[in-house]
Amino acid sequence: QKVKDSMRVLLPVLLNKSHESYDKIRAILLYIFSTNGTTQENLDKLIQNVQIESDSDMIRNWKYLDVPVISSSAAQQHKHPRRDRSSEETFQLSRWTPVIKDVMEDAIENKLDSKDWPYCSQCPPTWNGSGAV
């Protein structure tokens, strides 16, 4: 059954003193995943009220895995281009390929965009992707 007002269910869990901060972070992440993102103002209020400012990067860094943490019409949604895997042999129950596989293959082939991946795109120019650097 779909939760109608997830914030009403979430707040008592977050304000409960007996829960650890990591459990509260998990609850906030579940809320963000279920609502496909939240506003910057709402996220800031949640982090302040729960008093997890020092661990807030655990929530905000999900944007680097293409999870829409902040959703608004002004926010630019960047999607990593997917590879065509229609010709690959797959098992019946494992047809889905995670985005991280595409990212890792692009990293191996030195095809990552230096604007999106500044620390991973600095391979030597003579490197041809044939071995580890």
Q: What CATH number should be reported for the domain holding residue 10?
A: 1.25.40.60
Whether 13 and 24 have beta carbons less than 8 Å apart is answered as yes
Is residue 61 included in any domain, yes or no? yes
Q: How many domains does the chain have?
A: 2
Q: Regarding predicted confidence, which is higher, 117 or 79?
A: 117
- Cα separation, 94 vs 92, in Å, equals 6
| Chain-centre distance for alpha carbon 27 | 15
Taking only the tens place, the pLDDT of each residue in 27-60 is 888 888 888 888 888 888 888 888 888 888 888 8
Average pLDDT, the chain: 77
Distance of CA 25 to the CA centre of its chain: 14
Rounded mean pLDDT, 100-113: 84
pLDDT at 63 over 70: yes
Q: Are residues 15 and 48 in the same domain?
A: yes
